[in-house]
Structure 1
Amino acid sequence: MNASNPAQFNRALSELLNNLSSEAAASGPLRKYAAGNALTGILQMVYATVQCTPDMDQQNCTACLNYGRSELGGCCYGRMGCRILRPNCVLRFESNPFYNETAVPLPSPPTTSSPTPSPGNGNNTTRTVIIVIASVVGLLILIIIAICIFKRPKRNKDISIKVESK
């Protein structure tokens, strides 16, 4: 479907996508996503979402979404809905709601800092495996030594008394 007033619709859509792109790019590492809507004319709304993959930093997410927005002019000018799918970001808008507006935001990542393993020391899993194996080998050696001590033949300390007969 085409918008009844394409110029007005595109202005409102451009402003909405600009705001959502900034919001998504600045989001935390768990979710680079934003959704919203805007009034594009009399009783006419547009609903939009933008999203980047979580591995992108703010600058690359912004660049990807800006490139996606520039592609809208070539394919979706004045249309009531469109999807731009890129490898690292997605833009979508429709004239009907297509997302859950009451979605609960993701919690912030934990702020506890844990020491990062240095490249020369290996990681925690390797360290744990070495400790477990060393403990088991040490325990087996102790058991073998204990068995050897208790199973060795005991020396008879017979005291012979010599009786001399005359």
Structure 2
Amino acid sequence: CQLSYSNTNFFGLLNSDDYGTWYWTNGKVTDTTAFNAKLGSLLKDLTSQSTTGPSRFMFAMGSIPYTDLQTINGLVQCTGDTSLTDCKQCLNSTRSKIPTTCKDAHGCEIATGSCRVRYDTELFYANTTTPTPSPPSPPPPPSN
């Protein structure tokens, strides 16, 4: 959820310059080159998912293996008044801030007036995969 207010109309206007940063996980990444490569790949894929196809919510989340024991989880989201083109521009701009803003943090979020990008090695969203349905019950035996 994001609350915005102003004395001027900002609906539909791209705002990726003003931003806030939050760090979610203690600790620092030791191999920043490998971590940033995996993170960049994940967030690029999520940006594409959220700005193409039937995603009318301009939202995507997912994960990518980082090491045998760690996974990088990510989320990208734009505000509902943002066009798909502006959403993509905002997410790309926000992603580009990660190396200097989040540095080597295991988890970080950058939120602007039009979009947000979050990642963490800890799972921060509910896994909403649908369980495989049970096979149908066999038909009842014929009655005599």
Normalising by the residue count of structure 1, what TM-score does the alignment of the two structures yield?
0.58
Q: How many residues align?
A: 104
Task: Note the C-alpha offset of 1:54.
Answer: 2.0
Contact 1:7 1:78 in 2 (8 A): no
Q: Within the alignment, does 1:51 sit opposite 2:77 as a pair?
A: yes
Higher share of residues assigned strand: 2
Q: Which residue of 2 aligns with 1:91?
A: 117
| Counterpart position of 2:31 | 5
Aligned counterpart, 1:149:
none
Q: Does 1:73 align with 2:99?
A: yes
CA RMSD in angstroms comes to: 1.7
Q: Is the 8 A contact 1:24 1:32 kept in 2?
A: yes
Distance of 1:23 and 1:56 partners within structure 2: 16
Larger radius of gyration: 1
Percent identity of equivalent pairs: 30
Residue 4 of structure 1 deviates from its aligned partner by 2.6
CA distance 1:29–1:35, change in 2 (3 Å): closer
C-alpha spacing 1:11/1:56, structure 2 compared with 1 (3 Å): same
| 8 Å contact from structure 2 (residues 28, 104) kept in 1 | yes
Structure 2: 5+ residue runs without aligned partners? 1-26, 131-144
The structure carrying a bigger helix percent of its residues is: 1
Letter in 2 for 1:7: T
